[in-house]
Amino acid sequence: MEVNLDDLLEATGRDADLAQELLLVLRRQIPEALSEIHRAHAAGEAVMIRRTAHTLRGPLATVGAKAAQALAEELEQMVGESTLGEAGPLIDKLDVALQVVSREVTLVIERAVK
């Protein structure tokens, strides 16, 4: 499982309401960030890719999504150091990882509501 609830609860001081709110924010943020990264890649906007990848790192760390966080960090560094053409495969990997995180976040939210 990509989302680590222990990490999330530790980050929120075991505040279940805050944890729930952070999950809701991340669930909303993921599709927006993916869309922005894909748009920026197509437009050749390295700064926007770096900024968006960087913005994802904190929330992913908070929910313990270490693999997706590492990919976002790698993308942020790659785009800062090389050409955008090399970023495509990494963007695809990040996309898949974020889809997994999004599904897991949704499941956690749905379980909490029941």
Residue 97 above 80 pLDDT?
yes
Output the pLDDT for position 49.
Answer: 96
> Contact at 8 Å (CB) between 65 and 4?
yes
What are the extents of the domains in the chain? Answer: 5-113
Over the chain, what is the mean pLDDT? 92
* Helices 66-81 and 46-62, axial angle in degrees (round to 10): 160
pLDDT tens figures, 1-53 = 788 888 898 999 999 899 999 999 999 999 999 999 999 999 999 999 999 99
Question: Following DSSP, what letter does each residue of 45-86 receive, concatenated?
Answer: -HHHHHHHHHHHHHHHHHTT-HHHHHHHHHHHHHHHHS-GGG
Output the pLDDT for position 96.
Answer: 97
Question: What is the arithmetic mean of pLDDT over 69-84?
Answer: 88
Output the pLDDT for position 114.
Answer: 61
What is the homologous superfamily of the domain 5-113 according to CATH?
Answer: HPT domain (1.20.120.160)
Residue 91 above 80 pLDDT?
yes
